[in-house]
Amino acid sequence: MTRPGRRLPSPRAFLFRAIFLLYSSSVPSLLPVLLISFSVAPAASVPASFEAIARQADAARSQDRVQDAIRLYRKGTHLRPSWTEGWWYLGSLLYDQDRFPEAANAFQRLLATTSHRGPAHAFLGLCEYEAGKYDDALEQFRAWAETGWPATPQLRDVAVFHFALLLTRDGKFVESLYLMAPLASRLGDNAELSEAMGLASLRMPNLPENYPPDRRERIWLAGKAALYAAQSPAAFDQADEFAARLEERYPAQPEVHFFRATLYGFEGKKLEAEREYRQELRIAPNDVPSLVALAALDLEKAEVAEAGNLARQAAGADPKNAEAHHLLGRVLFANGDLRASASELEMAKRLAPDSPLIRSHLAMVYTKLGRTQEAKAESATFLTLKRKEEIMASPKDRLGEVREKAR
C-alpha cells in the first residue's frame, strides 16, 4: 500500500493542460472564445510571405516542433505586429517552456493588439509572477478581475491562486483567503493550496518562495486547518485538530491565537473565540484585528462600555482602520451620542467606501439626526453594495454602479 490514494495536479499542472488544450492540433475547435473574438488585422498590405509563415508556424505547433513554432511565430508577429493569434501562441508556447520574461513580452504585445483583453491579463499576470515582477503581476490580475475574470476553468483556478498569493504578499489576507476558499473546496487536500492558505491565515505577507524556513511547520498546520474549514461542507473536526496542534506547538507566537479565534468564529463558538482573541492580546497587546474582533463580540453582547474601550484602543493603534472607526461609531450610536457616531462612521466610510455595513449604519444615524436626504443616499448605496458583495470587485467598479444608479 505504498501508492497514495490520490494525487491532485498542482495549479500549474492545470494551466499546462489548459494551454495544451488551447494549442493542441487535435482540437483546433477548442480555440477559446477569447481568440475567436479577437479582431484579426485586415489582410490588406500584408507581405505575401506572412501567410506562408503563419501556416508553417501552425504546422510546427501542431507537430509539436516547439522551437520551430516559436521561431516562426516570432517571425510572423514581426512581419505583422497586429497578428493576435500569433502573439497568443507565441506567449503560450514560451510560457509552457517556463520562459516567462519572453512570454510576458508576447502577452504584452497581445494586449496591445486587441480590445478583448481579459484572459491575456491573466496570462500576463502569471508570466510576471514567474518573472518575479510581483507588483506588475498584481496589477494584471486586478485588471483581469475588472474584466469579469474571463478564462477557461483551468486558467481561472491557476490565475486566482496566484492572484491570492500576491494579495497575501500585499497584506490583503482576508481577500486572499476569500479567493482561495472556493479553490480549496473544489481541489480538496492540496499541498500548495494549504501552504498558501497558511500564509494568509497567519497574516504573513510572504510568498511561498520567500518566507523564513523555520516557519514552515506552523504555516503548514494553519494551512491545513484553513483548508479543511473551507471544504464544503466544512470539515471543522479536521480543521480543529490541526489548529489545536498549531496552538500546542506555538502557544507564544503571534497570530496563532488570532487564527484559532477566527476559526472558532466560523464554527459559531463565540466564547472560545473570545478567549483566543484575548490570548492573542496577551502576546501582542495592540493587535488591531483582535481588538476589533473583541469589540464586535462585546457589542453583540451589549457590553457597550467594554466594546468602546476596545474600539478606541484599536483606532488609536491604527487610525486608518475603518472597522475600528465603524465599531466606535456603533458604540457611540448605542450610547445616544449621534453626532460623534456620525463623525466616526463618516471617517470609516472615507477609509472603506465600499463597505455596505458602514453605509447601513450611517443611514441609521442620519435618520435619527433627521438628515433624511443623506440617509436615503446611504441606504441606496448600501443596497447596491450589498448586492454586489463580490469582495474582489474594485471600489471604483462598485461605486461606478452606485453613480449610475444615482443618475
Contact residues: other proteins, CB under 8 A: 1-7, 10, 12, 66-67, 70, 97-99, 101, 132, 188-189, 191-192, 208-210, 213-214, 216-217, 220, 237-238, 241, 245
d(CA 247, CA 69): 54
Smallest gap from Cβ 185 to other proteins, in A, equals 13
Q: Which is nearer to other proteins, 155 or 324 (CB)?
A: 155
d(CA 384, CA 359): 10
Q: Which is nearer to other proteins, 185 or 309 (CB)?
A: 185
What's the full length of the chain, in residues?
A: 407
Smallest gap from Cβ 13 to other proteins, in A, equals 8
Smallest gap from Cβ 186 to other proteins, in A, equals 13
CB within 8 Å of 15: residues ≥ 6 apart: 126, 154, 155, 158
Smallest gap from Cβ 276 to other proteins, in A, equals 20
Q: Which is nearer to other proteins, 3 or 407 (CB)?
A: 3
d(CA 97, CA 95): 5
Q: Which is nearer to other proteins, 64 or 390 (CB)?
A: 64
Q: Which is nearer to other proteins, 245 or 368 (CB)?
A: 245
CB within 8 Å of 168: residues ≥ 6 apart: 176, 196, 199, 200, 204, 205, 206, 207
Q: What radius of gyration do the chain's Cα atoms show?
A: 25
Phi-psi region of 371 (alpha: psi -120 to 50; beta: other; left: phi over 0): beta
Smallest gap from Cβ 89 to other proteins, in A, equals 15
Q: Which is nearer to other proteins, 192 or 374 (CB)?
A: 192
Smallest gap from Cβ 260 to other proteins, in A, equals 17
Could you tell me the three cell numbers for 380?
441606496
Could you tell me the three cell numbers for 275?
478567549
Task: Tell me how many helices (H) and strands (E) the chain has.
Answer: 22, 0
Smallest gap from Cβ 187 to other proteins, in A, equals 11
Q: Which is nearer to other proteins, 210 or 373 (CB)?
A: 210
Q: Which of 67, 44, 40, 46 is nearest to 56 (CA)?
A: 67
Smallest gap from Cβ 3 to other proteins, in A, equals 6
Q: Which is nearer to other proteins, 233 or 336 (CB)?
A: 233
d(CA 318, CA 168): 20
Please spell the DSSP secondary structure of 247-294, one letter per residue: HHH-TTSTTHHHHHHHHHHHTT-HHHHHHHHHHHHHHSTT-HHHHHHH
Smallest gap from Cβ 245 to other proteins, in A, equals 6
Q: Which is nearer to other proteins, 223 or 329 (CB)?
A: 223
Amino acid 21 reads: L
Smallest gap from Cβ 200 to other proteins, in A, equals 18
Q: Which is nearer to other proteins, 159 or 348 (CB)?
A: 159
d(CA 158, CA 137): 13
CB within 8 Å of 81: residues ≥ 6 apart: 109, 113
Q: Which is nearer to other proteins, 239 or 338 (CB)?
A: 239
Smallest gap from Cβ 193 to other proteins, in A, equals 11
d(CA 331, CA 303): 9
**Number of CB atoms found within 10 A of residue 271's CB:** 9
d(CA 191, CA 187): 10
Phi then psi dihedrals of residue 371, to 5 deg: -90, 75
